[in-house]
A and B are shown apart, each in its own frame.
Chain A
Amino acid sequence: MTREVNLLMLPGADALVREICAAEGVDPATLTRLLEIEQDYAGMIRRRGIQDAIDATLGAEAERPL
């Protein structure tokens, strides 16, 4: 996950992300996708579209059982 969004590059960060996502029942790929969306909207003053993009991602995620 860290490579795609180039975040959390510290040693041990990947394992931490997996552990925390597992505890909250979140797919790490969903977190990655949401971080990408957030980066896509960096520097924008009007950010209405980000809510639709989050909705599309969480819509797919919500169909998965917790």
Chain B
Amino acid sequence: MRLVTIRLRNWKAFPALELNLQGISSERNVVIIEGSNGFGKTSLLEALVLGLYGREGVDLIGRAGGGSRADMGYDAFLERALHQGVRGHDSNASVELCFEGGDGQRFTIQRLWYFTAAGRHRRSDEEARIWQGPDDDLVPLPDGDDQFTEVRDLVARALLPARLAPFFFFDGEHLDRLAGVDLDQQVRLGLEHALGIPLLRRLGDDLKFYARDRRRQIKGMSGAELDDLAHAVEDLEAQRHQLTAALDELAQALIPLRKERDATVARIGALHGDSYASFKRLFEEREQCGRARDALQDRLRQTLSFDLALALAGADLRRAARAQLASDARIEQQEATRTISEERYREIVSAVGESGELEKAGVSPAQWSALEVRLRTIWSKVWGEGAAEEGQRMHVHLGEADRHLVDERLRTIETLGAEQIAGLAQEAEQADAAVSEVDRRIAAQRGIDETSQQLADRLGDIQVSVGDLEERTRILTRTLDAVQGELATKERALGKMRSQLDADAPLLARADRADAVGRAIAKLIERLFPLNLEAFASAITLAYRAMAHKDAVCEVRIDPTGAVALLDAEGHDLRSLDPSAGESQIFAFALMAAITGIAAPFPIILDTPLARLDPDHRERVLRYFSGLDRQIIFLSQPAELSGRYLELLRPKLSAVLELTHEQGRSAFQPALPLERISA
């Protein structure tokens, strides 16, 4: 598709404009639109974007213009775009764009925006019209919001979806921003936009908000609790997923190392005529001794880090703490006894009153009342109320079992002294000596010739790596166990809460649906990125090699995580050689060219993009883009594409159009015949 006509009315500095780009062919596919700063080049770019994408286009202009315009919103942007000359009374502005395909198919889109006398955009009056086909048939469109949904789909199908527009309409600033980030991030940003992942992310966020909002409507706080619990379960599931993946990775890493260790042990054994089995036994003994030594060192560390502090606190303080624990235990016992005795006493008195015992014994109620007071006093004495423990429980957070553990620990500390620490240190030293002894026997068995030594050194390295990986595996496994335990608890709680909320099932069902769609989106984002990476990487390689003047890079490779490698002929990654700003821009150009190459045959519009490039890179970029089989429109400063650059483009050039600007109005000079345009 080629852009053949642009018609603007009351758009920024253009009161009326009709720009005819007819006559462009695949042989002459380049148009240069020249203008100084402030003459309307960017206004033209914005008209193209807003004309094609309406409200959706504001985000794209925001990207192209540094982000500030996106914050402004659609209405405010349009209100500023209305030509100054028509403000103050009811007015309208319009953009009409006509595209033509090689097969004679045409697609014309017109958007009209209406404004009040105060310059406010009348959103409900906005209109869009589309003519399509070789005879420019008017396409029937529905009314209301459905109209814009339909227009969006027609534009996306016939021309280009909005999410790909940033790769076709781009300016120097956009390119600078892209080139300013790391290559991995460039690729990720570029491909994510090409795949529509930002839209998926926004939808995922909206669904999360929706699900949370629905759950909060369920019986006030219980809904919020359910939501919190559901998210806790979700987080724990994500942690479990990550931990399992990390453990799988460690297990995979261990397999070759263990194989290599066994093979190395066998080789060392074979070199000295020893049997593999006896050599292996020595290594097993070495591992056992090593573990025993590590355990002793841990104990020593534990003793010095924790127990020593308690020991240094002094015997008086420890005794006082143990006495308080004992007192706590007695008070707790008394409280329990009192509670039980009080219940029993009430049961007995009640039974006496109810079973007619008083009548049988000939006791009157007044006598019983006096007797009961006396009985109460005796009962209290018998059950020890009179000898109540003085003071109050201090460690109320400790149960009986915990109290016992603390007491046991304090008791053990009583015996901790310099002798015991010295003994422990001695044991650790002995264990270390035992390890050295086994090492010595291993060394003696394998001999000291060079091959054995190299193998032994390698074996040592492998052992360290295996030990490290095994330790990490143990840590991760413990963490995974804890996560799984917590997850099971939370899932049970969630199930229970759900069953209590049956009455609110419809709201809950919607929230669950939103969660299900959200999960599908998250998986989609994760799995979309690696799709067809090879094709992208090949396209980037082609474009990069065509535009970069250094030919060291033979292949651009992208792995499924988005990590980029620039490989030379021998497969070495040249990423470590820091690229210049210009080279980074060339990579950004290559990335954009690759995406446009894979997407629709839509025109590429470049707004002053060559400033940072040296002359050689400029020539290569111009040669590459003008050589593409699609229309290329350069929006340039007057001197940017003159001289050698103009000569380079001349065989592909169909027109050079010059923007003028006088008294707040922009217009085009009549196009000169190409042969009269001098370099």
| A interface residues, Cβ below 8 angstroms from B | 3-13, 16-17, 20-21, 23-26, 30-31, 34-36, 38-40, 42-45, 47, 50-51, 54-55, 58-59, 61-62, 66
Partner of B145, one of A8, A20, A40: A40
- Given known A13-B531, A44-B55, contact A62–B513 (CB-CB < 8 A): yes
Known: A8-B528, A40-B148. 20 other contacts (CB 8 A): A3-B157, A4-B153, A8-B524, A11-B531, A16-B524, A24-B516, A24-B523, A26-B517, A34-B207, A35-B203, A36-B149, A38-B206, A39-B56, A39-B152, A39-B162, A39-B199, A42-B199, A45-B73, A55-B510, A62-B512
Q: Is the CB of A35 within 8 A of B520?
A: no
Partner of A20, one of B156, B207, B210, B520: B520
Partner of A34, one of B149, B203, B531: B203
CB distance from B120 to the nearest CB of A (A): 15
Q: Is the CB of B74 within 8 A of A44?
A: yes
Q: Is the CB of A54 within 8 A of B157?
A: no
Complex Cα distance A39/B60, Å?
A: 13
CB distance from B651 to the nearest CB of A (A): 34
Complex Cα distance A1/B156, Å?
A: 14
CB distance from A39 to the nearest CB of B (A): 6
> Could you write out 24 A-B pairs with CB less than 8 Å apart?
A3-B157, A4-B153, A6-B161, A20-B524, A21-B520, A24-B516, A24-B520, A26-B513, A26-B520, A34-B203, A35-B199, A35-B203, A38-B203, A40-B145, A40-B148, A42-B59, A43-B58, A43-B74, A44-B74, A47-B206, A50-B206, A51-B209, A55-B210, A58-B514
Partner of B523, one of A20, A42, A59: A20
Majority secondary structure, A binding face: helix
Q: Is the CB of A62 within 8 A of B509?
A: yes
Complex Cα distance A62/B517, Å?
A: 11
Complex Cα distance A61/B156, Å?
A: 27
Complex Cα distance A6/B195, Å?
A: 10
Q: Is the CB of B149 within 8 A of A54?
A: no
CB distance from A62 to the nearest CB of B (A): 4
Q: Is the CB of B524 within 8 A of A51?
A: no
Nearest first, the 9 A-B pairs at minimum CB distance are A6-B156, A6-B161, A43-B55, A43-B58, A62-B509, A7-B196, A24-B520, A45-B73, A42-B56
Within 8 A of A (CB), among B493-529: 506, 509-510, 512-514, 516-517, 519-521, 523-524, 527-528
Which residues on B sit within 8 Å (CB–CB) of A6?
153, 156-157, 161
Which residues on B sit within 8 Å (CB–CB) of A61?
513
User: Does B202 make an interface contact (CB < 8 A)?
Assistant: yes
Partner of A38, one of B153, B202, B512, B527: B202
Interface string of B165-206 (1 = CB under 8 A from A): 000000000000000000000000000000110011011001
- Given known A6-B156, A7-B161, A40-B148, contact A13–B528 (CB-CB < 8 A): yes
CB distance from B559 to the nearest CB of A (A): 17
Which residues on A sit within 8 Å (CB–CB) of B209?
51
Complex Cα distance A26/B520, Å?
A: 8
User: Does B385 make an interface contact (CB < 8 A)?
Assistant: no
Within 8 A of A (CB), among B144-160: 145, 148-149, 152-153, 156-157
Within 8 A of A (CB), among B444-471: none
Which residues on A sit within 8 Å (CB–CB) of B512?
62, 66
| B interface residues, Cβ below 8 angstroms from A | 55-59, 73-74, 145, 148-149, 152-153, 156-157, 161-163, 195-196, 199-200, 202-203, 206-207, 209-210, 213, 506, 509-510, 512-514, 516-517, 519-521, 523-524, 527-528, 531-532
Complex Cα distance A1/B498, Å?
A: 33
Complex Cα distance A7/B74, Å?
A: 23
Which residues on B sit within 8 Å (CB–CB) of A55?
210, 510
Q: Is the CB of A30 within 8 A of B506?
A: no
Which residues on A sit within 8 Å (CB–CB) of B513?
26, 30, 58, 61-62
CB distance from B345 to the nearest CB of A (A): 59
Complex Cα distance A35/B67, Å?
A: 24
Closest to B155 in A: A6
From A5, A20, A40, A58, name the one whose CB has the most chain B CB atoms within 10 angstroms.
Answer: A58
CB distance from B659 to the nearest CB of A (A): 28
From A21, A40, A43, A55, name the one whose CB has the most chain B CB atoms within 10 angstroms.
Answer: A43
Which residues on A sit within 8 Å (CB–CB) of B514?
54, 58
Complex Cα distance A35/B195, Å?
A: 13
Complex Cα distance A24/B524, Å?
A: 11
Q: Is the CB of A26 within 8 A of B163?
A: no
Complex Cα distance A44/B157, Å?
A: 23
Q: Is the CB of B195 within 8 A of A8?
A: yes
Which residues on B sit within 8 Å (CB–CB) of A62?
506, 509-510, 512-513
Partner of B516, one of A12, A25, A36, A51: A25
Q: Is the CB of B58 within 8 A of A20?
A: no
Which residues on B sit within 8 Å (CB–CB) of A58?
210, 510, 513-514, 517
CB distance from A2 to the nearest CB of B (A): 9
Complex Cα distance A16/B195, Å?
A: 13
From A6, A38, A59, name the one whose CB has the most chain B CB atoms within 10 angstroms.
Answer: A6
